[in-house]
Amino acid sequence: PDVVLLVGGTDGGDADTLTHNATRLARARWRVPVVLAGNVDVRDDLHGLLAGAGVPVTVADNVLPRIGVLAPVSARAAIRQVFLRHVIGGKRLSRGGRFARLVRAATPDAVLTGVEALADVVGGDLAVVDVGGATTDVYSVLTPDERASGPGREVAGALWRARTVEGDLGMRWSAPGV
């Protein structure tokens, strides 16, 4: 992988899984950048553990701070910065820092912003399918359902504006089969 997103536990909740996985990465002398976006109670300790082992680590807010609350914005921003620094810059896909300064958003984030704007204009639910070379992205904007609250609500919450990716349905590799 080019970047690993390491998450786990709500703030004040389970810390064992996140700690276990961070420890495994540290012991394995992992060198792929890690975005740490889990339980805030152990985040600083795990950042120290990973950085001390030479793992390139960036800290972000917890993506699931409480049951029913999904908060991916900080992790997305961290992933974008890591991608620009380590993938685009580190693999010499661009020359110098000028390219990274020119990038205003990763393509999927920019497309989601456009889909959100279009949904606001049409005033309803919207789905957009973006068939790419390696993946097919599905963007959706849904109207929140007031009935989704209460005991039956989803544990991780709902993203009313989202992108999902199908990694094996890009046109470069699967066009003949499709």
Digit-coded pLDDT (tens) for 57-76: 999 999 999 988 888 889 98
Q: Which of 142, 137, 148 is nearest to 161 (CA)?
A: 142
CA 40 to centroid of chain Cα atoms: 17
Give the tens place of pLDDT for each residue, 103-122. Answer: 777 777 788 889 889 988 99
* Tokens found for residue 76: 């997305």
* Tokens found for residue 109: 């984030």
The owner of tokens 């989202």 is 162
The three-point CA angle 165-171-176 to 5° equals: 130
- State the CB neighbour count (10 A cutoff) for residue 94: 14
The rounded distance, in Å, linking the Cα atoms of 171 and 178 is 8
Q: Tell me the pLDDT of the chain averaged across its residues.
A: 81
Domain ranges of the chain: 4-102, 107-167
**HEC profile of 51-68:** HHCCCCEEECCCCCCECC
Confidence label for 135 from pLDDT (cuts 50, 70 and 90): confident
Burial 74-89 (b: 16+ CB within 10 A, else e): ebbbbbbebbbebeeb
Kindly state the average pLDDT of the residues 33-44. Answer: 96
* Tokens found for residue 89: 């810059």
**What pTM was estimated for this model as a whole?**
0.68
The rounded distance, in Å, linking the Cα atoms of 143 and 119 is 10
Q: Which of 15, 61, 67, 23 is nearest to 41 (CA)?
A: 15
pLDDT given for residue 81 in this prediction: 83
* Tokens found for residue 74: 């900080």
Confidence label for 151 from pLDDT (cuts 50, 70 and 90): very low
The rounded distance, in Å, linking the Cα atoms of 102 and 95 is 12
Kindly state the average pLDDT of the residues 147-157. Answer: 55
- Quickly count helices (H) and strands (E) in the chain: 6, 6
The owner of tokens 């049409």 is 122
